[in-house]
């Protein structure tokens, strides 16, 4: 199937309207520019706000690390001593800015929060050595790796991909990006999340099994990384479910906080 047929197949103009990103993800070019030479107006590129700036951080890919805190690895039924880091992706258009309402996703009755430190790359590369990895980071943010735990559990049991559990619409709430010139490279500090004012996750970045530099070294041995890639670095213990009307507030000491209401 050629590109033209592929672009038309399965994608109606109506679908594209539904998939339009929220107003917070503002386009950098006019609709007229973007529509040229395409069979329909291409979707807007995803981006995140940059703290204390009118500039935005353009997002290319969203990588996530699985099971990167020992206590969380144990609560999910695995042995933290035996595992190399492993990765999955979320779709860039599933990013949701802090302060938003997250619509309860379809097909699940077990929507879980996972508070995570997010690193935002300003440079890419392949096979990046650990001792040069931190030079590739533009800044840090705070994200929540929202998970349809029931669908993820079913996928694990059947040996299927985690896609439906991890990559649904609005699955990646994320704060503003803070430049590393302000934050430095955090190696310890509280990472926490509360639901309706009650603390649910309370860990420390010092507990990361694979620190950020090691994550970048491993990830870049599998994929060529590029400026604009985000990495959700894993969650501490205490993950759990939220219901409609719940308010999640989480943060990473020295970085930022994020507030998301489940709608
Ligand atoms: Mn996670």
- What is the CA(239)–ligand 1 centre distance, in A? 9
Band of pLDDT at residue 11, cut at 50, 70 and 90: very low
- What is the CA(54)–ligand 1 centre distance, in A? 29
Q: Each residue of 164-188: pLDDT tens digit?
A: 999 999 999 999 999 999 999 999 9
Query: pLDDT at residue 27 above 70?
Result: no
- What is the CA(39)–ligand 1 centre distance, in A? 37
Q: What is the CATH number of the domain that holds 31?
A: 3.90.850.10
- What is the CA(46)–ligand 1 centre distance, in A? 20
Q: Each residue of 33-72: pLDDT tens digit?
A: 677 899 999 999 999 999 999 999 999 999 999 989 998 8
159 CB-contact burial (10 Å; exposed 0-12 / middle 13-18 / buried 19+): exposed
Domain count along the chain:
1
Question: Rounded mean pLDDT of 212-241?
Answer: 97
155 Cβ contact list (under 8 Å, min separation 6): 161, 162, 163, 164, 165
- Alpha-carbon span 170 to 230, nearest angstrom: 15
Question: Domain residues for 64?
Answer: 3-262
Query: pLDDT at residue 201 above 50?
Result: yes
Question: What is this structure's pTM?
Answer: 0.87
Band of pLDDT at residue 80, cut at 50, 70 and 90: confident
């Amino acid at each position: 199937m050629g590109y033209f047929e592929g672009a038309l197949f399965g994608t109606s103009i109506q679908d594209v309207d539904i998939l339009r990103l929220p107003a917070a993800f503002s386009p950098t070019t006019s609709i007229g520019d973007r529509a040229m030479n395409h069979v329909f107006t291409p979707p807007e590129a995803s981006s995140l706000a940059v703290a204390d700036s009118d500039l935005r951080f353009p997002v290319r890919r969203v990588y996530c690390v699985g099971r990167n805190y020992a206590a969380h690895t144990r609560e999910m039924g695995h042995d933290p001593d035996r595992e190399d880091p492993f990765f999955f992706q979320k779709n860039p258009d599933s990013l949701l800015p802090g302060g938003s309402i997250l619509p309860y996703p379809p097909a699940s009755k077990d929507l879980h929060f996972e508070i995570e430190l997010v690193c935002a790359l300003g440079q890419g590369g392949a096979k990046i050595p650990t001792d040069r990895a931190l030079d590739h980071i533009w800044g840090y943010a705070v994200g929540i790796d929202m998970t349809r735990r029931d669908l993820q559990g079913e996928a694990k049991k059947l040996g299927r991909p985690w896609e439906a559990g991890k990559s649904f619409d609005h699955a990646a709430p994320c704060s503003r990006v803070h430049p590393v010139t302000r934050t430095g490279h955090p190696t310890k500090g509280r990472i926490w999340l509360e639901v309706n004012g009650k603390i649910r996750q309370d860990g420390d970045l010092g507990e990361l099994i694979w620190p950020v530099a090691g994550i970048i070294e491993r990830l870049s041995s599998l994929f060529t990384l590029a400026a604009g890639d985000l990495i959700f670095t894993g969650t501490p213990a205490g993950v759990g479910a939220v219901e409609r009307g719940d308010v999640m507030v989480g943060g990473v000491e020295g970085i930022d906080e994020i507030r998301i209401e489940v709608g």
